Amino acid sequence: MARHVAIPDLFQPLVDEIRAAARSADVVILSGGLGPTVDDLTREAAAKAAGKRLVRSTAALRGIRAFFAKRRRPMAANNERQADLPQGAVLVRNPVGTAPGFSMSVARALVIALPGVPVELRAMFDNGVAQLLKRCFPRRPTVAAQELETIGLAESEVDRRLVAIASPGGNPRLSLMVRDGIVTARFLARGRTATEARKTLAAAVKRARGALGRALFGRDGVDISDAVAAMLKDAGLTLSVAESCTGGLIGHLLTKVAGISAVLLEDVVTYSNESKVKRLGVSRALISKHGAVSAEVCSAMAEGSARSSGADAALSVTGIAGPSGGTDVKPVGLVYTAVHLRGRTTVSDLRLSGDRGAIQARAARLALEHLRQRLIAGS
């Protein structure tokens, strides 16, 4: 990818950007602006950029009507404008939504317009666009790619460990992405043949695995919850979770994993002190002495969760997600996680930054990472 830009929902800036991109690239992919409302201007802008007019596609309209009919929902009149495509454009069907896409030529480029909704964009790319690109550009350099998922290391540390293996301009090429405490290292290798590209990629990934060590938990979009669930299943262990500051996010991540009912017994949100006492058996005196956000209370939460549920392993979290509630001694972003496994409880303290949502999201995944490391250690 040579360039990525974000454009406001304004007609002339869209037209100008499409024209500029089409003069400098072989392929231009547009995302968004294909909805039914007045600010959805991609169709009109693409048509203007190509010097074409909009024409209503009967095939696109039929697909939109079928979408609503299948779900027994009324279709608003403005949904019909989603079937307006630039003259000569080829329809790209949307299997999961109402917004059809299209492909067309503008200057030297193949321009492909897709919806901005991620689930729709992915489905359309996988079910049509990928094949279209292969047909249009059969002689392009062969590439092979793989992503390695890490947690517990800063982006700068991941870069330091991998810089001798791959670089942004090398072969393979390395790019790093950060989300909710997870750093994804993406390797893209090129070759004259598919075999050559795969061989270059495999050599780099093998070295990267060694360099990343225990921070590496998966590949190609696997979440930390997937990794933990697989380890619990392999070990034949059950799990209970007690959450405070994360408010059920750990349970949300785990229940996104198919088949998690085989290992997850329960996830309880013990947000108040009274709930910690009544549901988990945490001592009032312990809370009074150390505070709800403390290593001692977090440890007691995990032990109480294991005891009340009968689970083999228990995970707990308590902290201050903000924006208020922090002090000099216990600032916003202070989070404790605890794991009770095979009669032993370990506690980890985190110092997280960001807004409330960011702190909660990172705390949930880092709590799962605490559990993963205990499972690796086997005790």
**Category of 158 on φ-ψ map: left (φ > 0), alpha (ψ -120 to 50) or beta:** alpha
Average of per-residue pLDDT across 17-27 = 95
230 and 369, same domain (yes or no): yes
pLDDT digits (tens, 9 = 90+) for 122-144: 999 999 999 898 888 776 678 99
% of the chain surpassing 90 pLDDT: 93
327 within a domain of the structure (yes/no): yes
252 and 361, same domain (yes or no): yes
Work out the widest C-alpha separation in the chain, in whole angstroms.
Answer: 76
Going by C-alpha positions, the residue among 93, 89, 88 that lies closest to residue 59 is 93
Average of per-residue pLDDT across 30-57 = 97
86 within a domain of the structure (yes/no): yes
4 within a domain of the structure (yes/no): no
| Average pLDDT along the chain | 96
The Cα–Cα gap between 245 and 304 comes to: 17
330 to 186, 273, 291, 320, 364: CA distances (angstroms): 37, 17, 10, 8, 19
Main-chain dihedrals φ then ψ at residue 297, nearest 5 degrees: -70, -40
The Cα–Cα gap between 91 and 128 comes to: 10
Going by C-alpha positions, the residue among 129, 30, 9 that lies closest to residue 86 is 30
107 and 167, same domain (yes or no): no
158 and 21, same domain (yes or no): no
Number of domains into which the chain is organized: 3
342 and 321, same domain (yes or no): yes
186 to 31, 62, 65, 155: CA distances (angstroms): 22, 40, 40, 13
Amino acid 65: pLDDT? 97
121 and 149, same domain (yes or no): no
256 within a domain of the structure (yes/no): yes
Average of per-residue pLDDT across 301-317 = 98
167 and 37, same domain (yes or no): no
Average of per-residue pLDDT across 181-194 = 95
Contact of 316 with 306, CB cutoff 8 Å: no
3 within a domain of the structure (yes/no): no
Residues 6 or more apart in contact with residue 35 via CB below 8 angstroms: 82, 99, 115
2 within a domain of the structure (yes/no): no
121 and 159, same domain (yes or no): no
Domain interval for residue 100: 11-136
249 and 371, same domain (yes or no): yes
> HSE on the CB side for 149, CA within 13 Å?
17
> Omega of the bond prior to 172 within 30 degrees of 0, cis?
yes
The Cα–Cα gap between 67 and 114 comes to: 17
CATH number at residue 164: 3.30.70.2860
Domain boundary among 218, 233, 249: 218
Alpha helices in 291-355 (DSSP H): 295-309
63 and 177, same domain (yes or no): no
Amino acid 77: pLDDT? 96
pLDDT digits (tens, 9 = 90+) for 250-264: 999 999 999 999 999
Contact of 317 with 297, CB cutoff 8 Å: no
Amino acid 75: pLDDT? 96
> Does residue 379 have a pLDDT over 60?
no
Helix, coil or strand: residue 139: coil
The Cα–Cα gap between 277 and 165 comes to: 51
246 and 345, same domain (yes or no): yes
42 within a domain of the structure (yes/no): yes
> Omega of the bond prior to 13 within 30 degrees of 0, cis?
no
Distance, C-alpha 216 to centroid of its chain: 17
Amino acid 305: pLDDT? 98
Going by C-alpha positions, the residue among 117, 89, 97 that lies closest to residue 32 is 117
168 and 101, same domain (yes or no): no
CATH number at residue 21: 3.40.980.10
Average of per-residue pLDDT across 50-57 = 97
